[in-house]
Structure 1
Amino acid sequence: MTGETKLLPAVLVVEDEPLIRMEAVDMIEDAGFRVYDVGSADAAVVLLERHDDIGILFTDINMPGSMDGLQLATCVKDRWPSVGIVIASGIIDYKEMELPKGASIFPKPYPTDKIAKALSDIVAGIA
């Protein structure tokens, strides 16, 4: 692990499809970030309560549990306002959705270069 990696916030990936989650984790690790990953919004909240090094949430919208990804994003923005939010979705009309302030949304399949830039932009805003 490089010194630069230690300075970056950890990213929490929330995706219920294991193969898609693994792809997202690989993409974000390749961008130089440490990653936690879970399969539901409920598990994400538990992880956020336990790890104060999480600075970015990367979540899908559709998932099982008591919250979907948009509800999770709103919860995170309310409880952890400094956490940056990136949402990825296979929903076609995602541009019509109301997002928490400052959240970014991208279509699936993941546009790797754009997501890496969004993560870097969040870090630049945090620093």
Structure 2
Amino acid sequence: MSPHPPVVPNVVLVVEDEGFVRMVAVDILQDEGFTVLEVATADEAWPILESRSDIGVLFTDVNMPGSMDGLALATRVAERWPRIRLVLTSGRQGLSNDEVPDHGQFVQKPYRQRDLMSAISHAG
């Protein structure tokens, strides 16, 4: 193991349609020192991604209402902003990390703080 952990970008955009689950994710990330932006749908996330250059991590649920789900959002983000680390989550379906675009990571719900932090640090 390297003596220096990988540098993790400080701003995380959380995209989660379930309010309580989003609140828990935001609390975990803020406790770890991240600046967190939060929205309920991929449709709400897109204008934020377009207007900010400081987002380093996208943490999104896969299953959401709207014109695109979390996997479609992650695919679009990987194409347009390949520097943003991608972490996807779902309680309904499992994905392998190979199915997450751009060397991203998948965390199954319910997840623990250490699982989420590990996924963020290992996301490409």
Q: TM-score, normalised by structure 2?
A: 0.86
Offset of 1:91 from its aligned partner? 2.2
Q: Tell me what 1:100 maps to.
A: 101
Partner of 1:110: 111
Secondary structure at 1:65's aligned position in 2?
coil
- Partner residue in 1 for 2:71: 70
- The 1-side partners of 2:80 and 2:28 are apart by 27
Counterpart of 2:11 in structure 1 is: 10
Deviation at 1:99, TM superposition (A): 1.8
Percent identity of equivalent pairs = 48
How much has 1:97 moved relative to structure 2?
A: 7.6
Question: Does the C-alpha gap of structure 1 residues 41 and 82 become closer, same or farther in structure 2, counting only changes over 3 Å?
Answer: same
Matching residue's letter, 1:114: D
Distance 1:86 1:97, change over 3 A: same
Deviation, structure 1 residue 116: 1.2
* SS of equivalent to 2:33: coil
| Distance across 2 between alignment mates of 1:75 and 1:53 | 17
Question: What displacement does 1:9 show?
Answer: 2.5
Q: SS at the partner of 1:78?
A: helix
Alpha-carbon contact 2:28-2:113 (below 8 Å) kept: yes
2:53 matched to which residue of 1? Answer: 52
CA RMSD, Structure 1 to Structure 2 (Å): 2.0
**Unaligned 5+ residue runs, structure 1?**
1-6
Q: Distance in 1 between matches of 2:97 and 2:34?
A: 30
Q: Aligned ranges for residues 79-94 of structure 1 at < 5 Å?
A: 79-94=80-95
Q: Secondary structure of 2:114's match? A: helix
> How far apart are the structure 1 equivalents of 2:11 and 2:97?
29
Count of aligned positions:
117
TM (norm. structure 1) is 0.84
Structure with the bigger percentage of helix: 1
